[in-house]
Structure 1
Amino acid sequence: MSQTQIFHDHEADLGHKVKWYAKRVTVYGILLLWAFICLFPIYWTITTSFKLAPDVMQGNMIPFVDYTPQWRGWRSLGMSPDTIGEYSTVRAEFVKRFLNSTIVALSASTLAVLLGSLAAYGLSRFEYRFGFMRNDDISFFFLSQLILPPVVLALPFLVLYREIDMLDSRIGLILLYTLTVLPIVIWIMRDQFSSIPIELEEAALVDGLSIWGAFLTIIVPIALPGMVAAFILSLVLTWNEYFFAALLTSTDATTLPVMVASQTGSQGINWWSMAALSTAAILPLIVIGIVLERYIIKGMAAGAVK
């Protein structure tokens, strides 16, 4: 092989390597930019909870560079280092709202996943006929419930809950939130169950298991990542829901989003208190997302390959 040929081969390899590195840098650059865009609101919220009013208005962003962090926002909630050991009515109210949000969101998400998984399994394995509607039509009917604006349901639910004495109650919010996230769970889980070969159930039935036995021992363990992903999505939606919580509750069952919104008043917005409340409200979701990250990824990718 001549030196000229060796030179050209070396130049071609070098060109391929440059293109490969350029592609990698571009991809990772886009991912880093997207991560920054997604995480910046969380960073802004956390840092704002340590700012004073002038720092908020001036848009200071970097702690210890643009401003000196203070405990103003956390002190207003009774959760700063100098007030955490003392009794605080605001902190007691926050704990009450936090417990309400936790109980309502966890209960509604769990109930939605249980009911939605059963409905999705039926739609993926059996043929139904309801008038002119078939399985696909029934599935779309569930999804179409998300198109309806919540404000349209405000008056009917307000009148209904007043008649059955469920205003300002946790059980009322749990049932309502279950209905709101149930269509999403059904669609997610129907795709999960459809990706599981039906031959697994047929083999289980041949071995003597019932339909329920095959579902619980064979299908549920395989579809568990999708169920966890549906649960987390339901949890995020119910945890952050504000409209119905503000409409149907007043004192006993009020949730965290209502308390966060209450930081606005005639004298303006208490930014540091709102930021501290928001930080305390989103931290549990961040922790749950980090702990269950592998299930979320499996649940998102499970239906991609059949």
Structure 2
Amino acid sequence: MAEQIFHDHPTDHGHTAKWYASRIAIYGILIFWTIVCLFPIYWTITTSFKLAPNVMQGHMVPFVDFEPAWKGWESLGLSPRLIGQESTVREEFMKRFTNSAITSVSASLLAVILGTTAAYGLSRFRYKFGFMRNPDISFFFLSQLILPPVVLALPFLVLYRSLDLLDTRIGLILLYTLTVLPIVIWIMRDQFQSIPVELEEAALVDGLSIWGAFLTIVLPIALPGMVAAFILSLVLTWNEYFFAALLTSTDAKTLPVMVASQTGSQGINWWAMAALSTAAILPLIVIGVVLERYIIKGMAAGAVK
């Protein structure tokens, strides 16, 4: 017995060493990738507290390479010294922030409502439109993402001018809804396909209508997917720049347009741009952290059937 134990020990030790080595390698890769993903956010936040020499010299670590200052936030009227005073720049920032919030949230909600109903129909009913069937219709929605936005520039300019929708929030909301709708449809279609049809059949036997079964049985189960689709739509519409710059001039301009305006003939105002970018991404970070579990459940549900 003693001899057997002596021979088994090195083998167990070898398995343990391999297990620890694999774990170290996995976590090392994950930590490295986390640093790569978070570094742009770190760089943006620290740049908002730098002076011009610190930006040009590439100083990175606060209190080590440079002494943090409020120059970037003062340019927006958001520093502790100016927060209690009137500031036209701060009013302009709040106006652009409000425009971004209203247009992105409204467009995302509208896209989730329309996309959820469309995805439910494609997953539960059979459609025929000429030679197109359900898979063809689903691919048609996805194919809209292939079209470059610049191709739509002239048609939308002409259309919005004739409808008096230029430089309006409602114009951006309708356009943003159209751009993110295909993504919502595909996410929600996978969600509904992962839900057993027998649940709805049992509800119909109990006397519920199709809409009743959809609202009371299916929709609560698909809620994580709806939240994930909403957050993805919110991120895409919040960061959209091309159409916001093309179709707005004064009243409906959004934050991305204001961030881009920090570049001029005299160079780039790095600290002001960094402060603007930090203020723009903070709401998305908060939403992502608060709704993280819904995002994970929503993205994973369609892959597990």
TM-score range, shorter chain: over 0.9
Partner of 1:150: 149
- Map 1:284-295 → 2, pairs under 5 A: 284-295=283-294
Distance in 1 between the 2:99 and 2:32 partners?
A: 36
Distance in 2 between the 1:262 and 1:245 partners?
A: 13
Partner of 1:78: 77
SS in 1 for 2:146: coil
Question: In structure 1, what residue type is equivalent to 2:271?
Answer: W
SS in 1 for 2:145: coil
Partner of 1:41: 40
Partner of 2:267: 268
Distance in 1 between the 2:46 and 2:134 partners?
A: 49
Question: In structure 2, what residue type is equivalent to 1:200?
Answer: L
Shift, 1:304, TM fit: 1.7
RMSD over equivalenced CA pairs, Å: 0.5
SS in 1 for 2:222: helix
Partner of 2:194: 195
Runs of 4+ aligned residues of structure 1 deviating over 3 Å after TM superposition are: none
Q: Deviations over 1:44-96 (max 9, x none)?
A: 00000000111111110000000000000000000001000100000000000
SS in 2 for 1:179: helix
- Map 1:243-258 → 2, pairs under 5 A: 243-258=242-257
Shift, 1:278, TM fit: 0.2
Shift, 1:8, TM fit: 1.7
SS in 1 for 2:166: coil
SS in 2 for 1:145: helix
Distance in 1 between the 2:136 and 2:150 partners?
A: 26
Aligned-pair identity (%):
82
- Map 1:18-29 → 2, pairs under 5 A: 18-29=17-28
Q: Deviations over 1:248-280 (max 9, x none)?
A: 000000000000000000000000000000000
- Map 1:95-134 → 2, pairs under 5 A: 95-134=94-133
Distance in 2 between the 1:121 and 1:34 partners?
A: 36
Partner of 1:88: 87
Q: Deviations over 1:182-227 (max 9, x none)?
A: 0000000000000000000000000000000000000000000000
TM-score, length of structure 1 as denominator length: 0.99
Distance in 2 between the 1:268 and 1:159 partners?
A: 34
Partner of 2:303: 304
Partner of 1:163: 162
- Map 1:232-247 → 2, pairs under 5 A: 232-247=231-246
SS in 2 for 1:167: coil
Distance in 1 between the 2:294 and 2:30 partners?
A: 21
Question: In structure 2, what residue type is equivalent to 1:221?
Answer: P
Distance in 2 between the 1:22 and 1:14 partners?
A: 12
Distance in 2 between the 1:157 and 1:284 partners?
A: 29
Distance in 1 between the 2:7 and 2:156 partners?
A: 76
SS in 2 for 1:196: coil
Distance in 2 between the 1:59 and 1:8 partners?
A: 58
Q: Deviations over 1:92-151 (max 9, x none)?
A: 000000000000000000000000000000000000000000000000000000000000
Question: In structure 2, what residue type is equivalent to 1:189?
Answer: M
Distance in 2 between the 1:151 and 1:304 partners?
A: 34
Partner of 2:13: 14
Distance in 2 between the 1:296 and 1:44 partners?
A: 26
Partner of 1:58: 57
Shift, 1:20, TM fit: 0.5
Shift, 1:7, TM fit: 1.8
Distance in 1 between the 2:300 and 2:245 partners?
A: 36
In structure 1, runs of 5+ residues without a counterpart are none
Shift, 1:2, TM fit: 3.6
Distance in 2 between the 1:210 and 1:277 partners?
A: 50
In structure 2, runs of 5+ residues without a counterpart are none
Partner of 2:220: 221
Q: How many residues align?
A: 305
Partner of 1:173: 172
